Amino acid sequence: MDQILKNIRDLAGVHGSFVFDSAGRLYAHSAHAVFDAGALEQASQIVVKALDTIQLHYESWETMSVRFSDGWLLLRSVGSGAGGAAEPAPMFLAVIADQTLNFSFANVAIRVATGKIKKALQGGGSSQEFGPPSSRTSGMSFNPGYSNASAPQISQIPVPPQPPGVSSSGLSWSGFASSTTVGSSAVSVADQEASAFLSVCARALAQSVGPMAKVFVKEDVRKATGGAPFSSAHAHMLLALLETHIDDPADRAAFRKKVGV
């Protein structure tokens, strides 16, 4: 792994390259002294936020090129890490470069490196050369405010009439259909009732977080269901996840009230 990253770093205009996982943990790096492991891990953690967002809307993304006034950050999806984790985390390669980078040449070199990194990841690599950090966590946190006993049933939650203008607000759930997945970023639902419930959640959440509400709902539905169609059984977990996006306690209470909890 070190040699692969060093080969990238040897390209004219490149100042460093590093591999990190979807939790922003640095796995390997080769960079000029100014980019120490701490700085790169800090950058990884911020990049992951952007990648999580991009992933929601552009699921099939493979490469990302970010242009700054003084240089470039090139990002590649390199598959999933091995190393014995229950669920391998997605991994990414990042390359830091300045304005002198020969973009076409670098793209070829990075593509070659990406292939090698993917191969190394599939093989697992040695623990010294490449491996996940020892303190792996799931990266998911749940608000314990909901218990199964108090879990709302979808059928008990009233679906308010759609207010004027909502159809053009982007908060309608046109991407949802019973037991189907529509569109690249849609999630599947078990029935129309579940779909209506998600609409209520998105509208209520939008009062606090704005247009990102629909994105958060989709993301949290995936977390709550693990890819299964959303149904009433997942409602309490979804609401707990959605609440984490609301900082203000009063807003959180208003959200609960709006969704009928």
Partner 1 sequence: MSTLAWVSGIPEIMSAVVGDMSGAVTDVAGDPEGETTAAISGFAATSLAEVGDALGLGSLEGFSVAGKDIAVVVTVMGGMLITTRVDPAKPLAAVEKKLASVLRG
Q: What is the contact surface with partner 1 in residues (CB under 8 A)? A: 34-35, 39, 42-43, 46-47, 49-50, 53-54, 56-58, 60-73, 96, 103, 169-171, 174-175, 184-185, 210-212, 214-215
Tokens representing residue 12 in the block: 């004219």
For residue 2, which phi and psi values (nearest 5 degrees)?
Answer: -60, -40
| Strand, helix or coil for residue 189 | strand
Task: Tell the residue number behind the tokens 């990102």, with chain if given.
Answer: 212
User: By C-beta, is 189 or 190 nearer to partner 1?
Assistant: 189
Smallest gap from residue 201 Cβ to partner 1 (A): 15
| Inter-helix orientation angle 37-57/213-225, to 10° | 100
Smallest gap from residue 71 Cβ to partner 1 (A): 4
User: By C-beta, is 143 or 174 nearer to partner 1?
Assistant: 174
Please list, in sequence order, all residues whose beta carbon lies within 8 angstroms of the beta carbon of residue 52, skipping any fewer than 6 positions away.
22, 219
User: By C-beta, is 60 or 135 nearer to partner 1?
Assistant: 60
Tokens representing residue 28 in the block: 């390997």
Smallest gap from residue 131 Cβ to partner 1 (A): 25
User: By C-beta, is 72 or 230 nearer to partner 1?
Assistant: 72
Q: How long, in residues, is the chain?
A: 261
| Strand, helix or coil for residue 155 | helix
User: By C-beta, is 72 or 255 nearer to partner 1?
Assistant: 72
| Strand, helix or coil for residue 72 | strand
Smallest gap from residue 98 Cβ to partner 1 (A): 8
Smallest gap from residue 43 Cβ to partner 1 (A): 5
Question: Rounded to whole angstroms, how far apart are CA atoms 137 and 146?
Answer: 22
